[in-house]
Amino acid sequence: MTSSLDAGVAARLKRTGPDSLGLLPAVVQQHDTGEVLMLGWMDEEALHRTLTTGRATYWSRSRREYWVKGDTSGHVQHVREVRLDCDGDTLLLRVDQVGAACHTGDHTCFDADVLPLGPDPVTA
């Protein structure tokens, strides 16, 4: 598939690893609080659509299609900023989240399941 993503940006992306689709993880964060909302997957085209529309667009690995956050649920992500990490293999989207970020209806995808930690290695 060809992409309309800026060639300079595309050249910085590292698409190596186990995924043959060239997907990059996109960590999504509330722009004003820093709260981590979710993790989505993007290829070059999803990133291009996100950068040009200001709406977060992802690649669904299960449905094998693009989806714009909020088109079905109404829980829109207005993109304020997109950053590429130092290795070029992970994206950070800073968004203004309208409604729940998680498909379960939770505010974030990390609300429901806090895992127990072992003893603190500093005090143990």
What tens digit of pLDDT does each residue of 22-50 get? 899 999 999 999 999 999 999 999 999 99
Count of structural domains within the chain? 1
Q: Is residue 65 part of a domain?
A: yes
Q: Is 13 helix (H, G, I), strand (E, B) or coil?
A: coil
The CATH code of the domain that includes 65 is 3.10.20.810
Encoded tokens for 17: 């690893």
Q: Is 11 helix (H, G, I), strand (E, B) or coil?
A: helix
Print the domain residue range for 73: 7-14+25-97
Q: Is residue 1 part of a domain?
A: no
Q: Is residue 111 part of a domain?
A: no
Of 44, 79, 41, nearest in space to 63 by CA = 41
Encoded tokens for 76: 């829109």
pLDDT value for 2 = 62
Q: Is residue 117 part of a domain?
A: no
Quote the CA–CA distance of 13 and 90 in Å, as a whole number.
Answer: 8
Q: Over the stretch 59-107, which tens digit does the pLDDT of each residue have? A: 998 899 999 999 999 999 999 999 999 988 999 999 999 999 999 999 9
